[in-house]
Amino acid sequence: MPNLHQSNKNTLAKLAIGESAIVTSVEGNSSISKRLMEMGIVPGVSVKLVKSAPLGCPLQISVRGYHLAIRRSEAENIGINK
């Protein structure tokens, strides 16, 4: 596992539209991280940023063969490895 406390680490929020990556960590307060993980965003899974809503938030991502909308602030809790 990479160091989780790097300040400049890559998160899902930094992906470009259409780009894919592997999830390395899911952080944030327990209610957020738990919900994200229950929806299938766990370390090791592949995610793709599909698009963002009109004002740049929320984001539409593709994971485990389905589409999910999450806010940018939540995407910042998802560490990735391109």
Partner 1 sequence: MKVSEGIESSENNPQKKIVIALAGNPNAGKTTLFNAVTGLRQKVANYPGVTVESKEGHLSFGEYKARLIDLPGLYSLEAASLDEQIARDVLTGKVENLTTPDVIISVLDATNLERNLYLFTQLLEYKIPIVVALTMVDVAESRGIKIDFEKLSALLNTPIVAVTASSGRGIEELQDQIQNILGTTPNIPTRLQEIETTSENSLIFARYNFISEVVQEAVNNQEIHEITTSEKIDRVLTHKFFGLIILVAILLLVFQTIFSWATVPMDLLEHGFGAIGDFARVQMPEGLLTDLIVDGIIAGVGGVLVFLPQILLLFFFISILEDTGYMARAAFLLDRMMSKVGLHGKAFLPLMSSFACAIPGIMAARTIENPKDRLATILIAPFMSCSARLPVYALMIATFFAGKTVFGFVSLSAVLMLGMYALGIVTAIIVAFILKKTLLKSPPPPFVMELPSYRLPNIRNVLQNMFTRAWMFVKRAGTVILAISIILWGLMTFPRVTNVYVNTPNASELSEEQKSFQQSEQLKNSYAGKIGHIIEPVIKPLGFDWKIGVALIASFAAREVLVSTLGIIYNGDKEANEESETLKTAILEAKNDDGTPTWTPLTALTLMVFFVLAIQCISTIAVVRRETNSWAWTLFMVGYMTGLAYIAALITYQGGKLLGFG
Sign for the pseudo-dihedral over CA of 51, 10, 4, 64: positive
Sign for the pseudo-dihedral over CA of 73, 22, 80, 13: negative
Confirm or reject binding of residue 60 to partner 1 (CB under 8 A).
yes
Least distance (Å) from partner 1 to the CB of residue 81?
Answer: 16
Out of 12, 36, 47, 49, point to the residue binding partner 1 (CB under 8 A): 36
Looking at beta carbons only, is 9 or 58 nearer to partner 1?
58
How far is residue 34's CA from residue 50's CA, in Å, rounded to a whole number?
22
Is the bond leading into 58 cis (omega within 30 degrees of zero)? yes
Looking at beta carbons only, is 7 or 65 nearer to partner 1?
65
**Contacts with partner 1, residue ranges (CB under 8 A):** 26, 29-40, 42-45, 50-51, 53-58, 60, 64-71, 73-74
